A and B are shown apart, each in its own frame.
Chain A
């Protein structure tokens, strides 16, 4: 068990790689999906992870829950290193670590009723008997604001996307987790449904004292729910810190480019388009040497190709992995 002040989740030097075969099976390669990522999630905290396609953010989420296991590194959750546990002990350690995914229809069995879906973790972990499970399911559906009398008997296809996601969240809450990993959990919804689900996550955090690892490609969404934000690019973290400070004064050139690319609902806002970056992320099969952002970075110098910039603390709660981080005057 971790000490009360220690992190709930401590990820250290996590590496995940996959071998792929080239055309004709001859020329192989290794996808360097996650390359030495370290961070903490403190009790009661929401850590947001933002990254674009190919940044490795979803692979990171799966490596944390050991599905599949990472190549190397440690994932200490409530004092136990998940990467070293197996079988029943891993299952027990993971009870308090649950996931919510992007596509609620794909993550729920279409032939099951809502009550069966929500009680499944209770059955799998042999919690309570039939009667106590039924009352727990009703309690969970109330928590996600679905009337148990109306929804218990329905099947996923009889629900809207937002309702389906609420069922998936109720299932994730069944075993009273301490940490929920949300992988693009609101990305597929229209803005009004998205706002309803974001508010639900927020209320559950307050009511149940939950922590979240909130992963998404949209920095504005991540910022809305997070105490700290980690920006990920091509398998590594670029910058970690409180979102307001990051928004006012990004330290990493990639964070600045990301902020400049986000459209905001304000036509009078000065267009920051000249600060966006050209090109697209290189392949994770053969990532650039040194800093992986250097091939698109306007500040890159020779050193960036030779040395991997470590994620270092710059001021208080802020960390950056850059040889030439942005200074005060570079605010967006």
Chain B
């Protein structure tokens, strides 16, 4: 268990020992297995991990967006107020007003039969006591704020008339409709081309500065975290395995899984035809109960202790947390 930090000013979201169990057919998936982290006002946290690492499920749990069959335990507090277990009606008041989320697939998140202006107007009116006309004017402002050219004309268009990048901007506009204090972007740029991805990430950071929001972005891409986040948390098999401010982490990666992720990325400065360093195997069965470290089977640094007891996520150096009995040594830099 990570050391408890007393609540400091500027702390926005506090997640403690979060566990999520999901039913999939007749199996129980232990998607999140004891997750603790903090997000401060105006900061950007990147949650990085592969498919099935629990990064998306943990954020959906915080937002109360999991199906009713999901079993969520632990604590998630927004400015000290507990979010887990809130009645639906009360949670809906927070959603949009305090917390908002942008998803990977804007096509499925937008209603294809409604003009985009109407969709934004509706999102505004759900939380603010504005007339339709006032909300509409605010919707056009939001479209301008997310740098959509000819916002007044786009207002009257349908989602299919927009490109993927423009649809994602509309989703961001909807998420911003009521000035949330925390914006969670779940693989929001994964489906986009690289030039569009750069534009959307820049936009998110600009909006964050303008509006003083905290930003949590979920990604499978450690490079994106390196380029845009203040702090990075790496997840594997439902747990956080390493967490640090971005520069600290990339200066000295400690958890062998983080190192494996980092080394496997094709980099522009690597010579052509070089083999990428890879770890064998695949992530463990999410329904299995692990004994010891869940990465032990694939880990180049494995020791007997790793198969017996799971290493806790602890602060070993200033602001640098890792969960490993045999971490990578100083001298190897990302």
Q: Flag B163-184 by CB within 8 Å of A: 1 or 0 each.
A: 1111000000000000000000
Closest to A279 in B: B149
The answer to whether A224 and B276 have CB atoms under 8 Å apart is: yes
Asked whether, in the complex, the Cβ of A52 is within 8 Å of the Cβ of B193, the reply is: yes
Q: Are A244 and B272 in contact (CB under 8 A)?
A: yes
Q: Which A residues lie within 8 Å of B109 (CB)?
A: none
Number of chain B residues whose Cβ lies closer than 8 Å to a Cβ of chain A: 47
Please name all residues of chain A whose beta carbon is closer than 8 Å to the beta carbon of B195 when the two chains form the complex.
52, 257-258, 261, 276-277
B246:A217 contact, CB within 8 angstroms? no
Chain A interface (Cβ within 8 Å of chain B)?
A: 46, 52-53, 160, 162, 190-196, 198-199, 202-203, 205, 217-221, 223-227, 243-244, 247, 257-269, 271, 273, 276-278, 280
Q: How far is the CA of A285 from the CA of B227 in the complex (A)?
A: 35
Report how far A211 CA is from B264 CA in the complex, Å: 23
CB pair B272 A227 closer than 8 Å: yes
Residues from chain B with Cβ under 8 Å of A247 in the complex: 268-269
Q: Verify A266–B266 contact, CB threshold 8 A.
A: no
B267 at the interface (CB under 8 A from A): yes
- Distance between A295 CB and nearest chain B CB, rounded to angstroms: 13
The answer on a CB contact under 8 Å between A263 and B193 is no
Interface residue B19 (Cβ < 8 Å from any Cβ of A): no
B247 interface residue per 8 A CB criterion: yes
Residues on the A chain within 8 Å of B273, using CB: 46, 202, 205, 224-225, 227
How many angstroms between the C-alpha atoms of A326 and B187 in the bound complex?
Answer: 34
- Which of B33-41, B125-133, B215-223 is the contact stretch? B215-223
Q: Tell me which of B59-67, B114-122, B196-204 binds A.
A: B196-204
Are A276's CB and B198's CB within 8 A?
A: yes
Cβ proximity bits B233-262 to A, threshold 8 Å, 1 near / 0 not: 000000000000011001000000000111
Q: A202-B275, A218-B194 are contacts. A263–B268 as well, Cβ < 8 Å?
A: no
Judged by a CB distance under 8 angstroms, whether B224 is at the interface is: yes
Q: Is the CB of B198 within 8 A of A260?
A: yes
Contacts A/B (CB < 8 Å), 29 sampled: A46-B273, A52-B195, A53-B164, A53-B193, A190-B50, A191-B222, A191-B261, A192-B261, A192-B264, A193-B282, A198-B266, A202-B275, A219-B268, A220-B266, A243-B272, A259-B268, A262-B268, A263-B197, A263-B201, A263-B226, A264-B267, A265-B265, A266-B226, A267-B227, A269-B227, A276-B198, A278-B199, A280-B163, A280-B166
B292 at the interface (CB under 8 A from A): no
CA distance in complex: A195, B265 (Å): 7
Interface residue SS majority, chain A: helix
The smallest C-beta distance from B226 to any residue of chain A, in angstroms, reads 5
| Nearest neighbor of B273 in chain A, beta-carbon distance | A202
Query: Is B274 in contact with chain A by the CB < 8 A criterion?
Result: yes
Chain A residue with Cβ nearest B166: A280
Partner of B264, one of A162, A191, A218: A191
| CB <8 Å contact, B194 and A265 | no
Inter-chain CA distance A99–B192, complex, in Å, is 24
Residues in chain B near residue A277, CB distance under 8 A? 195
A196 surroundings in chain B (CB, below 8 A): 278
Q: Do A192 and B268 have beta carbons less than 8 Å apart? A: no
Contact indicator B226/A267 (Cβ below 8 Å): yes
Report Cα–Cα, A264/B220, bound state, in Å: 13
B261 pairs with A263, CB closer than 8 A: no
Flag whether B302 is at the interface (Cβ < 8 A).
no
For the complex with contacts A263-B224, A265-B267, 20 further pairs of A-B residues with Cβ separation under 8 Å are A52-B194, A53-B193, A160-B282, A162-B282, A190-B51, A193-B282, A194-B264, A195-B264, A203-B275, A218-B266, A223-B268, A226-B272, A257-B195, A263-B227, A264-B268, A265-B262, A266-B334, A267-B226, A267-B250, A277-B195
B9 CB–A CB distance under 8 Å: no
